[in-house]
Structure 1
């Protein structure tokens, strides 16, 4: 399941769990692009639970939207990643180190309050 919500004007939340089908990926990414259109210096809370690699159709749906997804990076300053998988948390922080001007900090699932506070303050 991939669900995109916009709890605040400058914040988008992404919830990803389990295996994602091509239809779910296409809809989720389209929702992300649409809900991020008016975001400026925004934040994102990305929650990943029970991660399973997406099927080939889902990967194709993401690849088709990749140029637009790269365009989203300029709309966001910070992303907190909540995950129950340690390698995903590590990968997220490595990705954050590689993208200039975009801070990513990873948290365990039970650290939601800390992640929310970090998004609001930007203090690591």
Structure 2
């Protein structure tokens, strides 16, 4: 499952769970790209539950679209990642250190208020 909801002019909420195959990955990236159109200085709130690594074919789809995804990610300045798996939180925050201009902070699933506050604070 991968759902993208545009909740404001500058914000996307993304829910992710389970294992994606190549068709689901393509649909997910298409949906993400279309809903991000026109966003500048954007915010993202990720909710990751029941994470499973995508299939190899899904990873191949993602790699083929890396240039497009790098362009898209530059539209965003903050991402709050909510997940109860510590290793995903750690990787998420590391990603934020590697992507210029994007700040990522991880939260437990029960920290919705803290995630929202951090995401929207100046």
Shorter-normalised TM range? over 0.9
Work out whether 1:8 is the aligned partner of 2:13.
Answer: no
**Normalised TM-score (structure 2):** 0.95
Work out the CA distance in 2 between the residues paired with 1:93 and 1:80: 9
Work out the CA distance in 2 between the residues paired with 1:23 and 1:5: 19
**Does structure 2 retain, via aligned residues, the 8 Å contact 1:7–1:13?**
yes
Number of residue pairs matched by the alignment? 122
1:60 equivalent in structure 2: 60
**Does structure 2 retain, via aligned residues, the 8 Å contact 1:42–1:76?**
yes
Find runs of 4+ consecutive structure 1 residues off by over 4 angstroms: none
**Does structure 2 retain, via aligned residues, the 8 Å contact 1:50–1:84?**
no
Higher helix share: 1
Work out the CA distance in 2 between the residues paired with 1:92 and 1:80: 9
**Normalised TM-score (structure 1):** 0.94
Q: Output aligned runs, 1:100-119, within 5 Å.
A: 100-119=100-119
Residue deviations 1:70-106, cap 9 Å, x none? 0012100000000121000001111111222110000
Q: Output aligned runs, 1:1-124, within 5 Å.
A: 1-122=1-122
Structure 1 gap ranges (5+): none
Question: What CA RMSD, in Å, does the superposition of the two structures yield over aligned residues?
Answer: 0.9
Structure 2 gap ranges (5+): none
Work out the CA distance in 1 between the residues paired with 2:10 and 2:58: 27
Residue deviations 1:32-59, cap 9 Å, x none? 0111110000100111111110001211
